[in-house]
């Protein structure tokens, strides 16, 4: 086999030298088997990635493989920019359910997943001890039951980021899914969050603020890093924190004060986790070479190396645990099996922009939760109709 494979990826591994070193080593091993295939990796910046890829497709200069996340897939499929990926059945069967969900649109697989993430409640053990709470709650009811203890001890239980700059994937959506609800109807032709489950999730959030259990400073303002309520020990926990939050809090408080709780359960236990994978643009000129390199990349041993370096988690069941020597990453890794990237839909991002201010309005009291969801539903369904979906 011979040919050229141009691959676009982004700074998934923050350290440039380490990131380049991974690809250099991978290509060297690949070329030991396929010496006549020239693989060229271009580490692109995150900023403007959608626009740059769209322009490249329009000009007929798209790469052979490009890294995408779930909400990018439907928009590029609708533009005619991607072709489905064909992988051996045994490989597809080895992918975790959340990985397949995040790579699939309208029944077709459009990326070969290479990484997953998972978020979980992150909490301050010292604040829990001061409130007299010895174990982390596992259900919504248990969380509500301990909330007064924190108020009595002079702290907020919860940091809930309601700012419009925060994605609902880390705030409202996990609660909606835990209540048994959905963002979109199964046929994708309407939204489904204005439901008993959606109302229950929003009422839970509204009550946390109304009763004084959630820090109000993050309703309209994004506070990150050392400015965040949890970092300043004003709030005892955040519902959906990832490895970045764990890292920051370990450095700030000391590793012995950082706790990771089980993702909460209401009707079901579920959490959010993204999926990253490589797609094949339609104007791929070296299909066979690109497919061969992609299948080499997603071999479990190569994905294990990539995810161990990057701090993400493996999308294939046969990989097992790859962060077993790290107490924090290994615990987050155990939740990948119940992580979902959400429903892949062409207007997923726009719906977040519609729903987020309505949720904020309900928290601030300018609308009832019922009104907020009904207004968001009407606007979102109008959008879906205009898009012809």
Domain ranges of the chain: 3-117+273-338, 120-272+347-386
pLDDT over threshold 80, residue 283: no
pLDDT over threshold 90, residue 287: no
Backbone torsions φ then ψ of 239, nearest 5 degrees? -70, -35
pLDDT over threshold 70, residue 285: no
What is the rounded distance in angstroms from the CA atom of residue 228 to the CA atom of residue 371?
A: 30
Are domains 3-117+273-338 and 120-272+347-386 of this chain identical in fold?
Answer: yes
Mean pLDDT, rounded, of the chain: 95
Model pLDDT, residue 389: 83
Catalogue the long-range contacts made by 233-236 (C-beta closer than 8 Å, 24 or more residues apart).
233/124, 233/126, 233/127, 233/155, 234/155, 234/156, 235/155, 235/156, 235/157, 235/158, 235/159, 236/123, 236/124, 236/127, 236/128, 236/131, 236/150, 236/155, 236/156, 236/157, 236/158
Model pLDDT, residue 222: 84
pLDDT, tens only, 57-95 = 988 899 999 999 999 999 999 999 999 999 999 999 999
Backbone torsions φ then ψ of 371, nearest 5 degrees? -65, -45
Average pLDDT over residues 341-356: 95
Average pLDDT over residues 174-191: 97
CATH classification code of 120-272+347-386: 3.40.190.10
Model pLDDT, residue 130: 96
CATH architecture of 3-117+273-338: 3-Layer(aba) Sandwich (3.40)
pLDDT, tens only, 81-137 = 999 999 999 999 999 999 999 999 999 999 999 999 999 999 999 999 999 999 999
Model pLDDT, residue 206: 98
Model pLDDT, residue 284: 59
pLDDT, tens only, 355-389 = 999 999 999 999 999 999 999 999 999 999 999 88
State in Å, rounded, how far the first CA of the chain is from the last one.
42
Average pLDDT over residues 261-272: 97
What percent of the chain is predicted at pLDDT more than 90?
90
Q: Which band of pLDDT confidence, cut at 50, 70 and 90, is reported for residue 225?
A: confident
């Amino acid at each position: 086999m011979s040919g050229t494979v141009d691959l676009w990826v982004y700074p998934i591994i923050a350290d440039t030298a380490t990131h380049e070193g991974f690809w250099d080593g991978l290509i060297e091993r690949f070329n030991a088997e396929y010496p006549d295939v020239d693989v060229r990796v271009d580490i692109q910046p995150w900023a403007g990635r959608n626009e740059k890829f769209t322009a490249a497709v329009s000009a007929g200069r798209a790469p052979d493989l490009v890294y995408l996340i779930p909400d990018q897939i439907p928009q590029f499929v609708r533009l005619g920019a991607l072709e489905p990926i064909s992988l051996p059945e045994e490989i597809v069967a080895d992918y975790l359910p959340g990985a397949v969900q995040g790579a699939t649109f309208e029944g077709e697989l459009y990326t070969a997943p290479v990484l997953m993430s998972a978020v979980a409640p992150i909490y301050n053990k010292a604040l829990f001890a001061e409130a007299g709470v010895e174990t982390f709650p596992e259900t919504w009811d248990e969380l509500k039951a301990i909330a007064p203890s924190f108020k009595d001890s002079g702290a907020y239980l919860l940091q809930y980021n309601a700012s419009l700059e925060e994605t609902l994937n880390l705030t409202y959506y996990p609660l909606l899914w835990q209540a048994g609800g959905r963002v979109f109807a199964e046929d994708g032709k309407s939204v489904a969050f204005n439901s008993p489950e959606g109302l229950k999730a929003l009422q839970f959030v509204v009550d946390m603020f109304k009763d004084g259990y959630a820090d109000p400073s993050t309703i309209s303002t994004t506070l990150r890093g050392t400015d965040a309520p949890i970092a300043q020990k004003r709030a005892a926990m955040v519902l959906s924190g990832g490895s970045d939050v764990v890292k920051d809090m370990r450095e700030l408080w000391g590793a012995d004060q950082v706790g990771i709780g089980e993702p909460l359960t209401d009707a079901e236990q579920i959490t959010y986790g993204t999926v990253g994978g490589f797609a094949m643009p339609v104007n791929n000129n070296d299909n066979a070479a690109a497919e061969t390199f992609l299948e080499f990349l997603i071999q479990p041993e190569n994905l294990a190396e990539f995810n161990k370096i990057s701090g993400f988690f493996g999308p294939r069941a046969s990989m097992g645990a790859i962060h077993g020597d790290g107490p924090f990453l290994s615990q987050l890794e155990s939740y990948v099996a119940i992580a979902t990237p959400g429903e892949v839909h062409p207007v997923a991002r726009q719906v977040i922009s519609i729903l987020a201010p309505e949720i904020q309005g309900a928290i601030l009291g300018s609308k009832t939760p019922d009104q907020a969801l009904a207004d968001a539903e009407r606007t979102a369904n109008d959008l879906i109709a205009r898009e012809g979906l």
